[in-house]
């Protein structure tokens, strides 16, 4: 009987302690998803520096699709000579961007 009383007191203490924990002490993890809204454009909307860089870096490839975001950055899907596709990013001045 004495063991049950001790068990009840300990259980009550744990429950009260858990209820008393302040919500600000609980760590929460927030996830922020950043997406750049790229909209499809025609190849004629590419700037001349972008076209020049494409011809330098991918002379035997074809442009599969072109997308542009509000920052003036382009997402280009290049179809390589082997038939595989590569996604590359470039700004409107012809500077390559590293993205994954």
CA distance 92 to 1: 80
Q: What is the pTM of this model?
A: 0.62
Question: What integer best gives the mean pLDDT of the chain?
Answer: 84
Give the model's pLDDT for residue 8. Answer: 67
Domains of the chain: 39-97 (3.40.1420.30)
Query: Can you tell me the mean pLDDT for 21-40?
Result: 68
3-state secondary structure of 81: coil
Cβ atoms of residues 94 and 52 within 8 Å = yes
Q: How confident is the model at residue 88 (pLDDT cuts 50, 70, 90)?
A: very high
Among residues 28, 39, 23, which one has the least CA distance to residue 73? Answer: 39
Give the model's pLDDT for residue 6. Answer: 74
Express each pLDDT in 36-84 by its tens digit: 689 999 999 999 999 999 999 999 999 999 999 999 999 999 999 999 9
CA distance 45 to 38: 14
Give the model's pLDDT for residue 23. Answer: 55
């Amino acid at each position: 009987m004495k063991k049950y009383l001790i068990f009840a007191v300990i259980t009550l203490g744990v429950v009260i302690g858990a209820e008393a924990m302040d919500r600000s002490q609980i760590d929460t993890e927030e996830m922020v998803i950043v997406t750049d809204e790229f909209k499809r454009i025609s190849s004629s909307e590419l700037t001349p520096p972008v076209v020049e860089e494409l011809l330098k870096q991918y002379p035997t490839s074809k442009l599969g699709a072109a997308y542009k975001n509000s920052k003036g950055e382009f997402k280009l899907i290049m179809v390589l000579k082997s038939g595989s596709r590569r996604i590359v990013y470039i700004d409107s001045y012809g500077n390559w961007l590293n993205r994954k």
